[in-house]
Every structure is written in structure tokens, then in C-alpha cells.
Structure 1
Amino acid sequence: MKTLFLNTEYLMPFFLNQCGSLLYYLTLASTDLTLAVPISNSLAIIFTLIVGKVLGEDIGGKGITLCVTSSVSKTQGQLSAR
């Protein structure tokens, strides 16, 4: 455990992740859920794509297409049920 907490390559992403989680929970506590949940889900996909691109990952694969297609079909199903 000591080596993990002294390793900056581990600590920087860990603290960034914890700050993001804290911001997420603070935003959820102060925002209407019908607005906050769709926005946070959409932003999660966008930030994942941006960070993946910065890290040099190939973002044009089948996984992201499946994720976006699934998200769109769920949203359209909810809209047509109203």
C-alpha cells in the first residue's frame, strides 16, 4: 500500500477520479434528477471518448457504436412511451 500512495503515476489519476466523483455527487444533490441523470450519462460517454483519444486509443470501434446505439434506442423508447 505504501508504494501505491507514493507513486505519482497512480495518485494523479486516482485523485482526478475522486474529484470527478465528488463533483458528480454534489451536482446530483443540487440538481433535478430528471435533468441531471441524462446529462451526466451523456457527458460520461463524451469524456470517455476525449480521454481515450488523448491517450491514443482507437475510438472508432464496435464498442462505442454499440454503446451509443443502445443509449439512443433507450431514449427513443422512453419518449415514445409518453
Structure 2
Amino acid sequence: MKNWGDYSFVIRSKHRKGVFLALSEPKTPTQLSAELNLNLGYISNIIISLIDRKLIECLNPEEKRYRLYRRTKKGEELVKEIKN
């Protein structure tokens, strides 16, 4: 385990963990909201917190709508630790 801080940050919230694990492929906040049955505003807050920790990234930041998010390399490494 390289970063216990990121590990505990993600698993300490079931919703944050759900969003993080759901990003196995690029998705929009709307897709995540529908898949996880969570409020879109709440999803947006989770996305911001995961971006701040460099665990996910936006693939098309120039777009105003239909932004796609995916896990970073750092995020992919963390997924392996969470699933073990």
C-alpha cells in the first residue's frame, strides 16, 4: 500500500467508494447518479474531492456539458488495493 491517506479517504464513505469503483470506464456525473441512485449535486461534490486527490480526471474539461470522468493511474493502483 503506497498511500494510506487516499485509501482511507475513499473507503470511509460508501458513496465515495461507490463513485470511485463505478468509474471502471469513463462516465458522466448523470450516468453515475442514475447508476448509484444518488443526487447529482452530491455526485459532483464527490467528483471534485476525488479530482483534488488526483484519483480521477476529466477527459474533456473544455466541454460545459457531458463531461466524462475516469480513474487516473494513481486511482487504478488504489482500486487494486481496495478490491484486495
Give the shorter-chain TM-score range: under 0.3
Whichever structure has more strand as a proportion of its residues is 2
Larger C-alpha radius of gyration, 1 or 2? 1
Q: RCO (CA 8 Å, sep 6+): is it higher in 1 or 2? A: 2
Name the structure where helix makes up a greater proportion of residues. Answer: 1
Provide TM-score, normalisation by structure 2.
0.27
